[in-house]
Amino acid sequence: MKKKITLAIAGALSVFMLAACSNGTDKDIATMKGSTITVEDFYNEAKTQPQATSTTVLTNLILNEVLEKAYGDKVTDKKIDELYKAEEKTYGDTFESQLTQAGYTKKTYRALLRQQQLVDVALRAHVELTEADTKAAWDSFHPEVEAQIIVSSTEEDAKAIKKELDNKGDFDKIAKEKSVDTTTKDDGGKIKFDSQSTTIPQSVAAEAFALKDGEVSEPITYTNSSTGQSTFYIVKMTKNKAKGNDMKPYEKDIKEIATKTKISDQQFVLKSIGEELIKANVKIKDDAFKDILSQFTAAAETKESSTTESSSKTEESSSATEKSSSTKETETEASSSAE
């Protein structure tokens, strides 16, 4: 069924198509090194994103074009296949209906996954970890543990299950019968996770790490920030492991945690993307969209300005030091002459 274009996009499209009548659909909206984005490109992309605003459509078009040229060879079809299959596994039989509800086809969703990967690769290329970054990652790190979980949809169910477990109920059996987590319930709720795993909410994992082997938690509430829906976890720790004081065995994990922390920082994202846009010499040719990239470029220019100012201050300091040294030499010579 053909979707209707939302009013925001329809309005923008009508403006552009009016311009296209007199100037042609090949009129440039934006240019960059080795490429342009025309009215027709915008129109074709907008048709695939009926719920997006016109500025979102154009911003995505520009970013995708810039990042594809810079990092496209680093995002393989194999990686997109892996991500797509992982999503299919997560949603099971409801996957296609979930795509439809979100306004995606299989093709457009794969395109979205590719765009996300391009951004991830681009941001990682800008990461320069400091000792402080590494220390913060180490402080938050916990090695992989083995545990079992039972997930309930209501607090009432979770409390009833905890009471049953306290009365020597079999965790495996209860997980298979009553857990709503389809990924783990058939295996008695068995799961492995560490401090950077996404298989379990981080807030739940943090409480689980405090459990001793054989200990069962009270119901732990997790509220999804997107949907506002709460679920309730009961965790039985099977095999916990302290990280100790030696970071070396976990060096790779620590680096990944520090990197993820960096690329989730909004200011870092704005600066990094801004630098890519400046490097690609992106120019907006239509006044209606002249400021759509300003949040990125302003962040990048602020960084450059700070660096320039820092360099200028260093030079001034160096000049002052040299002047002071020269003055002292002159004073010494004058003193010697007087003697």
HSE at residue 117, side-chain half, CA atoms within 13 A, is: 21
Crossing angle between the packed helical segments 39-48 and 7-23, to the nearest 10 degrees: 160
Of 30-44, 256-270, 290-304, the least confident: 290-304
Distance (Å, rounded) from C-alpha 148 to C-alpha 184? 8
pLDDT at 26: 67
Q: How confident is the model at residue 225 (pLDDT cuts 50, 70, 90)?
A: confident
> 22: which 2 tokens?
């007199």
CATH number of the domain at 142-239, please? 3.10.50.40
pLDDT tens-digit series, residues 240-255: 999 999 999 999 999 9
pLDDT at 117: 96
Give Cα separations from 69 to 63, 213, 279 (angstroms). Answer: 10, 51, 12
> 40: which 2 tokens?
């027709």
pLDDT at 175: 97
**What pTM was estimated for this model as a whole?**
0.70
- The whole-number average pLDDT for the span 81-97 is 87
Domain boundaries of the chain, sorted by first residue: 142-239
Contacts of 24 (CB under 8 A, 6+ apart): 39
Distance (Å, rounded) from C-alpha 152 to C-alpha 130? 41
